[in-house]
Chain A
Amino acid sequence: MSSDIKDIYSRNLDILSEIGNIGAGNATTALAQIIGNKVNMDVPQVRLLGFNELTEIVGGAENIVIGIMCRIEGDLTGMMMFMLEKSAANHLIDIVMMGFDDGSEEEFSEMKLSALHELGNIIVGAYLNALAGLTGLKVIESIPHLSIDMAGAILSVPAIEFGKMGDEALLIESRFFEEDRAVSGYFILIPDVASYDTILKSLHIG
């Protein structure tokens, strides 16, 4: 059994890219259906990053981001996080609420948060459905939880899980484009150590 994340990364880069591609592709389609507009997607980047590099990609540890996270149970166990920058979140909220102003002074009113929560639910669900379809494994996700806070604090949650295996985190970065506007989102799939083998075996390469 291989439990070193570096080793998993270097030996399975193609597979991990493909998981990212199919997962994010499905999530993008789901997103396009909600907002009723074409959403394009870059080829996802799979990256192995040191813990400090991880926070740099989203503008530094103190940059405020939105994290949407759910637990995964079933044949696979672990967690899944979808993270996006505040500007991207606001853009998506605007589209979903069709410019409706709920009159709230707060940057993220209850209604906006609720919209964001639902978007997160759909995006994460679509990603995991694709993963389940690809591997034939049963993937059950919990209700997603949302946090708006400093990137370092939000990323500490997946970083700690990766920290149990080594000193790097595996990140699948997907960028969406809605019309001309780039909306960057980051998917972080964190299977428990044993679940990496389950995924790879299900694809007959374990």
Chain B
Amino acid sequence: MADVIRVGMADLNICKAPDSITTLGLGSCVGIVLYDKRNKIAGLAHIMLPDSTQIRNNSNLAKFADTGIDQLIHELKTAGADIKSLTAKIAGGAQMFSFSGSSDLTKVGDRNVEATVQKLETLRIPILASDTGKNYGRTIVFSPETGLLQIKAVGKEISYI
């Protein structure tokens, strides 16, 4: 029986086929999947904030886009993934409440996505697909067997990217 590994908010984990990995109810947070297709190993981080260097209390590595991605790569490497061939898929970063203006509060989803994209670019990890922004929550499930990321949202058809 294949397991579904669950990743919480500000958390990360890895999984190997035939297992799959999921995080539930992503809002303004971003779910980052890194995948080694040949070895069928994937990692998922559920990050809340863009930048660990802006926050004093930054010991929880999985909470931030920058340190979360670094830590995910570290764990994938330990699990035997070929980190040179990693690809990425990302989802989340919604704006759940439609406040106008340019405050921190309204932009945090966008900033999380930007920081994630930037960090992956720096590491030269290609983003194969993404479903980000807008104003609704997402549950995501990644299967290292197929390489597909399933996205569920309230009142919407299930999609795969």
Of A125-133, A160-168, A198-206, the stretch lying at the interface with chain B is: A160-168
B36 within 8 A of A: no
Bound together, the chains give a CA A3 to CA B28 distance in angstroms of 23
A195 contacts across to B, CB distance below 8 A: none
A172 within 8 A of B: no
Count chain B residues whose beta carbon lies closer than 8 angstroms to a beta carbon of A: 31
How many A residues touch the partner, as a band?
A: 35 or more
Residues of B within 8 A of A164 (CB): 49, 55
Whether A156 lies near B24 (C-beta < 8 A) is: no
Given contacts A145-B98, A152-B27, contact A64 B154 (CB under 8 A): yes
B9 touching A156, Cβ below 8 Å: yes
A157 at the interface (CB under 8 A from B): yes
The prevalent SS among residues of B at the interface is: loop
What separation, in Å, do the CA atoms of A196 and B22 have in the docked complex? 35
B136, A149: Cβ atoms under 8 Å? yes
Known: A152-B27, A167-B10. Is A62-B139 also a contact (CB below 8 A)?
yes
Residues of B within 8 Å of A147, CB to CB, are 96-97, 135
A191 to B: closest C-beta gap in Å = 13
CA distance A164 to B55 in the complex (A): 6
Complex interface residues of chain B between 3 and 52 (CB less than 8 A to chain A): 8-11, 24-29, 48-49
Residues of A within 8 A of B25 (CB): 55, 61-62, 149-153, 155-156
In the complex, per-residue mask of B99-139: 1 if CB is within 8 Å of any chain A CB, else 0: 10001010010000000000000000000000000011111
Query: 16 extra interchain contacts, Cβ-Cβ under 8 A, other than A155-B27, A167-B57?
Result: A51-B9, A51-B10, A51-B48, A54-B9, A60-B24, A71-B99, A79-B105, A148-B154, A152-B27, A153-B137, A156-B48, A156-B137, A160-B48, A161-B105, A163-B48, A167-B60
| Residues of chain A having any CB pair with chain B under 8 Å | 3-4, 51-52, 54-55, 60-62, 64, 67, 69, 71, 79, 142, 145, 147-157, 159-161, 163-167
